[in-house]
A and B are shown apart, each in its own frame.
Chain A
Amino acid sequence: GQNIDQPTEMTATEGAIVQINCTYQTSGFNGLFWYQQHAGEAPTFLSYNVLDGLEEKGRFSSFLSRSKGYSYLLLKELQMKDSASYLCAALDSNYQLIWGAGTKLIIKP
């Protein structure tokens, strides 16, 4: 079956760095997305990886290892507004998004 695993909740301190891990098992693979979702709002796109390696975009970076079925989202210089849920989603061979349950990130002052 197809499956995405990510931690349910993480806590970090303002100004620090946090890494949110995601492992996936899908029928075929056409890339991995990270989305941010604030409470009561729709998800917004953060990143997309289809090749191995690190993609950096400002304070956010995303890493992919296809051989390990593993990705992480790295958030630097954490701000209070980064408190949100972070959703990992893999695109399978049918270009269907398989969603993780999301990681709730709590930022403390």
Chain B
Amino acid sequence: GAVVSQHPSRVICKSGTSVKIECRSLDFQATTMFWYRQFPKKSLMLMATSNEGSKATYEQGVEKDKFLINHASLTLSTLTVTSAHPEDSSFYICSARDPGSSYNEQFFGPGTRLTVL
């Protein structure tokens, strides 16, 4: 199957700093990538849909200015958590849809665990 990488896998930062998470599709071009957030023992919560070359579409309740998404190329999307606070601590997962896949499935990156002190 298609491979999606995510970097970093873990990050610990101080409150007030910004953190950038990268999501890359390694062996396919992803016109659409998705950013999820997952709290412990909860399901995935879609934050935004990232489309290459255009603005991201944010889900209701997700602050655009706090969670900046850039999808500058067909293989890279970035999520920047600006002025992070302890309540932003979570598991962030990206996924990408492979247009060549017969199943329309999303391939997930390994996730980034963010801890804000």
Contact = CB atoms under 8 A, between A and B. Distances in A.
Interface of A: 30-31, 33, 40-45, 48, 87, 91, 95-97, 99-102, 104
Contacts, number: 46
A55 B49 CA distance: 30
Contacts of A97: 34, 46, 106
A31 B103 contact: yes
A97 B43 CA distance: 13
Contacts of A99: 43-44, 46
Interface stretch (B13-21, B61-69, B80-88, B108-116): B108-116
B104 interface: yes
B44 A87 contact: yes
B105 interface: yes
Contact of B111 (A33, A42, A95): A42
Interface-centre pick from A30, A43, A44, A104 (highest chain B CB count, 10 A): A43
Contact of B104 (A31, A40, A87): A31
A63 B107 CA distance: 22
Given A31-B103, A95-B104, A45 B43 contact: no
Contact of A87 (B43, B91, B103, B113): B43
Given A99-B43, A101-B42, A48 B108 contact: no
18 contacts: A30-B104, A33-B105, A40-B91, A40-B113, A41-B110, A42-B6, A43-B93, A43-B108, A44-B108, A45-B103, A45-B105, A48-B104, A48-B105, A96-B46, A96-B49, A99-B46, A100-B43, A104-B41
B1 interface: yes
Contact of A48 (B41, B103, B109, B113): B103
Nearest to B110: A42
A1 B43 CA distance: 18
B10 to A, nearest CB: 10
Nearest to A35: B108
Interface-centre pick from B1, B103, B109 (highest chain A CB count, 10 A): B103
Contacts of A42: 6, 93, 108-111
